[in-house]
Amino acid sequence: MSTTLSPLATAFLAADQIGKPGGAMNSLRAPVKDVRINFGDLCARMLAYTLICLADDGAIEMSSTDRKSLFGTKKQVTIQKKRESTQVGGADALLAAVRDGKTAHDAVYTWLGADSLSPWQRIVKSAFKEASDAGLLAAESGGGVGAMVTGLPKIRPVSEKQAEIDAIVSACAQRWKRFESESADFAAQLVKECYSGINGRVDKSSMAT
């Protein structure tokens, strides 16, 4: 019987397929492949993928609109809610955060709910827990490289579930690449807004000295 994961956890599994390469700093090891991925960008892409799934499901409609600013006109991703979703897990919560005519940034910011020291960690920890509870990923002893940044342990795929993992990753990668190929500029704007929505929830008071 195949496992049903939320889009958030699915995108986490497919980190090496949808993420950007990361360096020694601010990166995490992809869950199923030994490559390092940019941590902040991956979190944004995980939420962007969730919105893509909601759009494919007919629950929302996303469009590029113009917004006037002091420095001219800027593009933004505006969302309209259409109906309830058949997606599972965090997708429902993100859908509930959508307000008609508001942006992807607004949806992510509302979904996170409160400021924290690292909203980025909240996102990957939630995705890892779901994939772990589903028996697809396991934690090994000791922290992984970059654990201070990601808050995650060292992770490995469960070998008995490798075929299922491969199928989930492949389907996610295909959907993501299809979306990017349809409009690279729109995809980049969506990721940018998801990133800014997450970054808006960083507790700035904790950084004060």
**How many structural domains is the chain composed of?**
1
pTM: 0.91
Average pLDDT, integer, range 155-159: 95
pLDDT digits (tens, 9 = 90+) for 165-177: 999 999 999 999 9
In a domain, 99, yes or no: yes
φ, ψ of residue 203 to 5 degrees: the values are -70, 100
In a domain, 13, yes or no: yes
In a domain, 72, yes or no: yes
In a domain, 207, yes or no: no
pLDDT digits (tens, 9 = 90+) for 13-59: 999 999 999 987 789 999 999 899 999 999 999 999 999 999 998 99
CA angle 121, 123, 126 (to 5 degrees): 105
Nearest of 123, 128, 97 to residue 110 by alpha carbon: 97
pLDDT band at 146 (very low <50, low <70, confident <90, very high): low
The strand ranges marked E within the chain are 27-29, 36-38, 60-69, 72-81, 137-143, 153-157
In a domain, 78, yes or no: yes
Give Cα 112 to chain centroid, integer Å. Answer: 12
Average pLDDT, integer, range 91-115: 89
| pLDDT given for residue 39 in this prediction | 95
In a domain, 182, yes or no: yes
Please name the residue that has the structure tokens 């996170």.
112
In a domain, 39, yes or no: yes
In a domain, 209, yes or no: no
Which residue segment(s) compose the domain that 47 sits in?
7-200
Average pLDDT, the chain: 89
